[in-house]
Structure 1
């Protein structure tokens, strides 16, 4: 599934959290020389544009400043498109098991987004609008919008992020915000330009991309950030039950070459059982969801800018996940999710070329977090799921504003899980065909794909 800048914290742009979901769409206001000389700025002087899940922009040309030179408002625009080729060539052109690519053998505009951000005079304000094919892929999993009226992804799906808050000059910064945020769970971002690979890892794709609620960010030291979150639920605009979800995120960056992260989530994200609805709120199931992920991102080789020949940078990232659901008939021994993703990246030619290799796995026996391989005609049958993946990615980056990307992805599951030649919609591949009684989606244990993508960001 990735963040907003904080007032008086120019360098915090690079400190933004990554998201299964998370985005660093910050164009943080730079303070005047006199202000910066006395301000306590977390992660001051760090260049974090190399990190997995972080925006690699160094310049933000759409910036409005006041007469003193302080940034008042920053605009950002991005476009991301892809051509996804699935070697199984499903007849319905439906790409499954992905929150990034929804179609195969077709060109797709995955994401188009424009936004405005401000950190002027300690005020925190953000509004990002969005459209594109991945909106449906991400938001269709939000079952909370079926509870009552005045809900629905249709009301909010075009708002990627919107928040208001205030920055308090305590320690190295204290920020209080309320709104819709990109998720803090996971390493890889909602915005593909910020990730080392285009298709997100399985462990990140199965976790949230957005939250609606409130958060408090506190920077007790120059190298550390901790956050407390209260939200409606696990990637939901509304809530399933009376209890809100709670979260915690912790970042430690002793220098610009190392990042350590630990994130936590606790909430009740199931709707009442149908046979207990008449009993009222007391009959709500006590099914508890817990999720934890931690990551290490380290750069172990870096050439100075005046020596940019051959390999210029080398880094790796490791992202681990563990979570479970228990209660109301759910046993932790089956209702758990375990997974990991490790990536290694090399930069060449003055950082204009890069090559990434990533491997990962996920184990989710009850499939409570996994994507369903077909909307119709699919019977789970209680089969457990373990999947593995290997990805290679080659990037061409002529500037900080454009990325051309070619990627090859291989996935393997212990059960038929990925779309085959027959597709997952109907015998003809069209959704309006009545389904024969014996029809089942064509699912395979392996998947091979090639993805060509181009993104622009200013």
Structure 2
């Protein structure tokens, strides 16, 4: 076993963390005299998936620019030979500094016409499309067409109720509570409930702001985090978001679709529901804020050879976060667990180049295949300004079957061989049931 001191020098972010505590924090921009937008009557930056400054330094007339840079170093105690990590939608390489995402874009709003664009260069541009099997149905390489875009939509704002937005394109779904963008979240690695549910949809949505505290958002989408359709049907669903006060937020997401490639008779239902509570708020105190979140998920697939008794998903995740010294420091602890017979939401390990479309005999996803997993995270954030976060995080993850990259890795000698995910004679991937990991991340959000 390696000693603790053997891996500490490999974390280049650690030496600077203490120094940053002494950096002065800029004063917040003066509040506008304009009335608040719906669901923005209070400071909700404490919410998971909603972190960031109220100040917008890249605002120019009808355009509000946005710049994101997420750079991370991950150290797995399994030390896979090929530096390839398995089972995460955010963490992909061991022992290397990698850019998870470089995003440049922003929001346009002029005479009620709106649009948003956000790019995704870096690891996300390769890893997110491989989890979508829909581009294999038909032509035109949808994964290549969209891989460098995380959000791209336009729409129109109707001055009815407290506002109605009708939008079409690729938009964030936030099923699972955590944001697709790690800088917005309380931890870098989300628990399985978030990591295994959609980050984005390609379709049409209406955001109906019924009041300052309530939003109703129906969706008509191509499918479950997909660029195209898996079969001849569409996915439908919606979100209800309720924030009655500045310390409470409740959100529910519901979905129905047909998302098994080539099996139109198989249907999927899913519910994802979260409650978030800020129970302490003392800006001048040592502990400036404290909050907790709980997310519960349930769903199943039926028809096309399966039923809800054998092909289902149950999961939860719970987190607690405390902020210190006027929100310059933060500590988050939490985790969760899932069970998913049939493994229809389990991310496939990238064995020999496996994708969601190829599958792999080394880790099957057949009806009835058992899968249970649990995890916990501890994250420490240093936030000298609300535009930047330095994060150090420990993760421990476990599964009921071999799933995570072990010492031998998941890449055949000499690199991937044959078709993605295919069997390689005389070789097997080294999958293990547990993984412990350290992360150091620097995340900029302007």
The answer, yes or no, to whether TM exceeds 0.5 is yes
Give the structure 1 partner of residue 375 of structure 2: 389
Q: Does structure 2 conserve the Cα–Cα contact (< 8 Å) formed by 1:359 and 1:391?
A: yes
Give the structure 2 partner of residue 94 of structure 1: 84
Once the two structures are TM-superposed, the CA of residue 201 in structure 1 deviates from its matched residue by 1.3
Give the structure 1 partner of residue 404 of structure 2: 418
Q: Does structure 1 conserve the Cα–Cα contact (< 8 Å) formed by 2:417 and 2:424?
A: no
**Within the alignment, does 1:293 sit opposite 2:233 as a pair?**
no
CA deviations over 1:272-323 (Å, ceiling 9, x no partner): 35xxxxxxxxxxx3111111100011100000x4xx2311111001111111
Give the structure 1 partner of residue 333 of structure 2: 357
Give the structure 2 partner of residue 450 of structure 1: 438
**Within the alignment, does 1:241 sit opposite 2:226 as a pair?**
no
Partner-residue secondary structure (3-state), 2:351: coil
For residues 153 and 416 of structure 1, do their structure 2 counterparts lie closer, same or farther at Cα, with a shift above 3 Å needed?
Answer: same
CA distance in 2, matches of 1:107, 1:371: 23
Give the structure 1 partner of residue 47 of structure 2: 51
Q: TM-score, normalised by structure 1?
A: 0.85
**Within the alignment, does 1:176 sit opposite 2:166 as a pair?**
yes
Once the two structures are TM-superposed, the CA of residue 222 in structure 1 deviates from its matched residue by 1.5
**Within the alignment, does 1:378 sit opposite 2:354 as a pair?**
no
For residues 442 and 47 of structure 1, do their structure 2 counterparts lie closer, same or farther at Cα, with a shift above 3 Å needed?
Answer: same
For residues 165 and 350 of structure 1, do their structure 2 counterparts lie closer, same or farther at Cα, with a shift above 3 Å needed?
Answer: same
Q: TM-score, normalised by structure 2?
A: 0.87
Partner-residue secondary structure (3-state), 1:233: coil
CA deviations over 1:345-401 (Å, ceiling 9, x no partner): 011111000000012001111101101234346143864110010110000000011
CA distance in 1, matches of 2:430, 2:414: 11
For residues 357 and 249 of structure 1, do their structure 2 counterparts lie closer, same or farther at Cα, with a shift above 3 Å needed?
Answer: same
**Within the alignment, does 1:62 sit opposite 2:50 as a pair?**
no
Once the two structures are TM-superposed, the CA of residue 60 in structure 1 deviates from its matched residue by 0.8
For residues 441 and 301 of structure 1, do their structure 2 counterparts lie closer, same or farther at Cα, with a shift above 3 Å needed?
Answer: same
CA distance in 2, matches of 1:334, 1:425: 32
**Within the alignment, does 1:325 sit opposite 2:311 as a pair?**
no
For residues 186 and 379 of structure 1, do their structure 2 counterparts lie closer, same or farther at Cα, with a shift above 3 Å needed?
Answer: closer
CA distance in 2, matches of 1:351, 1:230: 39
CA deviations over 1:54-81 (Å, ceiling 9, x no partner): 132221101113xxxxxx1111101001
CA distance in 2, matches of 1:326, 1:345: 38
Q: Does structure 1 conserve the Cα–Cα contact (< 8 Å) formed by 2:87 and 2:347?
A: yes
CA distance in 2, matches of 1:82, 1:31: 34
Q: Does structure 1 conserve the Cα–Cα contact (< 8 Å) formed by 2:318 and 2:335?
A: yes
CA distance in 2, matches of 1:454, 1:429: 33
CA distance in 2, matches of 1:271, 1:349: 51
Mind listing any 5+ residue stretches in structure 1 that lack a counterpart? 1-29, 66-71, 274-284
Mind listing any 5+ residue stretches in structure 2 that lack a counterpart? 1-29, 353-360
For residues 173 and 447 of structure 1, do their structure 2 counterparts lie closer, same or farther at Cα, with a shift above 3 Å needed?
Answer: same
Partner-residue secondary structure (3-state), 1:119: strand
**Within the alignment, does 1:110 sit opposite 2:100 as a pair?**
yes
Matched residues, number: 404
CA distance in 2, matches of 1:435, 1:235: 28
Give the structure 2 partner of residue 440 of structure 1: 428
CA distance in 2, matches of 1:443, 1:429: 19
**Within the alignment, does 1:406 sit opposite 2:402 as a pair?**
no
**Within the alignment, does 1:431 sit opposite 2:416 as a pair?**
yes
For residues 346 and 379 of structure 1, do their structure 2 counterparts lie closer, same or farther at Cα, with a shift above 3 Å needed?
Answer: closer
What do you get for the CA RMSD once the two structures are aligned?
A: 1.9
Give the structure 2 partner of residue 158 of structure 1: 148
Partner-residue secondary structure (3-state), 1:135: helix
CA distance in 2, matches of 1:180, 1:61: 25
CA distance in 2, matches of 1:414, 1:144: 29
